[in-house]
Amino acid sequence: MPLTLKVIDHWDDGKRLHVVGTLTASGSYPASGDPIPLSDPLIKSGSAPIFAVAQGMGGYRYVVQVGAFGSTAQPRATLRVFLDTTGLELAAGAYPAPLIAAPASLYAIFPKFS
């Protein structure tokens, strides 16, 4: 998988699970975004995040799309990267070197144990 998630911190507020981590890109950016791997054992939720935001390298805008997609309705989150200068999504192909060198930060909120 070209995108990896490293959980830096996580906590339970009694109602939801909060996760802070970094997203490291490698390989190629697929058309329409890169799936965020949510299989980390520290994420104790079987659902997609109800809120997620990513922030990273200047010159790029990050959008996290969340939900259950596909025939299996597995929880998913997808990172989409846009160029600030044009507003266009990053073209499918090799990730630019600056994005590989500078992991994006992720903050996500999940339903607990669902």
Per-residue pLDDT of the chain in tens (114 residues, 90 and over written 9): 589 999 999 999 999 999 999 999 998 999 989 999 988 888 888 788 999 999 998 899 999 998 755 545 566 889 999 999 999 999 999 999 999 999 999 999 998 865
42 and 31 in contact (C-beta within 8 Å)?
no
In whole angstroms, what separates CA 53 from the centre of its chain?
A: 8
Alpha-carbon torsion, ordered 6, 70, 90, 25, to 10 deg: 20
Count of domains in the chain? 1
pTM assigned to the model: 0.87
Domain that holds residue 70: 3-111
**Residue 12 neighbours by CB distance under 10 Å:** 12
> CA-CA distance, 63 to 61, in Å (whole number)?
7
